[in-house]
Amino acid sequence: MNSRLIPLHAPVQPPAEPDWQAKLESWRALLDKCGRKASKKNVHGLRVVTLRLQVQVEQWLRERITVDDATKAAVRWNKQAEKLRKALSPVRDSDVYQQMLRGLRNPEAGDAAETCRASQDSLREIDKLERRLKRKRTSAEKELRTAIDDRGEKLREAGKRLQESLASPTVWAGIDCATAVREIVRGLAADAPTLTSETLHEFRKRAKTARYLAEIVAGHDALAKKQVVLFKKIQAIAGKWHDWQMLAEKAEAQLKARDGAALTRLLESLAERTLAEALGECRRITTQIVELDKHSSGTAKSVARKKPVRGIESALRGQRYA
């Protein structure tokens, strides 16, 4: 069976037009802000808009049938954006982990699901880990600002060329969001019954990709709007587990066994609790997404997807979104 076909009875949606210009302007503005001050807000904002643009650009590239100046500009920007995102991640992670630790020390300031009473040993170990995370954050911020300084001109030039190419009336800049999202949902539905801790993070990343594609048309597509809500729930619940899991590993690596035993046990117990919740919720929510798609089905005929050219597919191979 050709997985690039829309199933029978599925409604055919016209290609969506992402607001390329506004998103790229926002991306360039945040890039400049991060170069001046890599605050938590600026780092988070730049990372999110970079990821959203990458998802949309890559889907647009997959639907191209020719290699032209526009596709070359998109591939160049995507490569620079991937390097930028890798420099942003350590700063973002440190910010998230410190917030989680503050929630453990003061449950009222954290998530209600994590309102467990930390022992005195755990509190001392939280202090130690926070100090190390702050130092790591300072180091990661310097590396990020250096990366922006060193590659800033390439990043801005790549973004400018992408903007110019996508503004051309001769360039078809649509994305078949309905088909792309439906393909991801089909994969999620197949994997949900056997979801484990080893596959949950990858499952979440696919749901995040589907969310960003659905958001393009959510303003005028009732199904996409409902899908976005459900994809966000998967992203949130699975992301919470992943952050606790990563923080537990960070505590074990940063603190000696005798200096971090209590905190590591606490974090591992939180990771186990949120894992069980995430697995169940992800399966349940995926079922809801599938049912939504069934209820929205019409009577349209199957439509073949455009196949990407080999050069574009090769350039995109190996992209991963955390």
Give the integer Cα–Cα distance in Å for 216 and 280.
Answer: 28
Q: How many CB atoms lie within 10 A of CB 14?
A: 10
Give the integer Cα–Cα distance in Å for 145 and 35.
Answer: 5
* Residue type at 26 in one-letter notation: S
Categorise residue 318: left if φ over 0, alpha if ψ from -120 to 50, beta otherwise: left
pLDDT at position 81? 93
For the chain, how many residues are written?
322
With H, G, I as helix, E, B as strand and everything else as coil, classify residue 8: coil
pLDDT in tens, 229-244: 999 999 999 999 999 9
Task: Please identify which residue in the block is written with the tokens 């639907």.
Answer: 63
pLDDT at position 293? 78
* Residue 129, token pair as written in the block: 């880990």
DSSP notation for 215-238: HHHTTT-HHHHHHHHHHHHHHHHH
pLDDT at position 67? 80
Which residues 6+ apart lie within 8 Å of 81 measured at CB?
Answer: 50, 53, 54, 57, 155, 158
pLDDT at position 274? 95
DSSP state of 108: G
pLDDT at position 169? 64
Where exactly are the structural domains of the chain? 1-15+176-307, 17-172
Task: Please identify which residue in the block is written with the tokens 């904002």.
Answer: 45
Listed residue (263, 241, 243) closest to 252, CA to CA: 263
DSSP notation for 66-91: S--HHHHHHHHHHHHHHHHHHHHHHH
pLDDT at position 227? 96
Listed residue (217, 241, 231) closest to 184, CA to CA: 231
pLDDT at position 15? 60
pLDDT at position 98? 95
pLDDT in tens, 136-153: 999 999 999 999 988 888
The whole-angstrom distance between residue 260's C-alpha and the CA centroid of its chain comes to 31
pLDDT averaged per 10 residues in sequence order, the chain, 322 residues: 38 62 90 93 96 93 84 91 94 96 72 52 87 95 91 86 78 80 96 97 97 92 95 97 95 77 89 96 97 67 46 53 56
Which residues 6+ apart lie within 8 Å of 239 measured at CB?
Answer: 204
**Start-to-end CA span in the chain (Å):** 30
Listed residue (153, 150, 222, 175) closest to 23, CA to CA: 175
Listed residue (174, 178, 167) closest to 214, CA to CA: 178
Give the integer Cα–Cα distance in Å for 88 and 34.
Answer: 10
pLDDT at position 174? 75
DSSP state of 110: S
pLDDT at position 6? 37
CA dist 1 → 4, 6, 79, 138, 166 (Å): 9, 11, 33, 52, 34
Q: What are phi and psi of 260, to 5 degrees?
A: -130, 15
Give the integer Cα–Cα distance in Å for 193 and 156.
Answer: 44
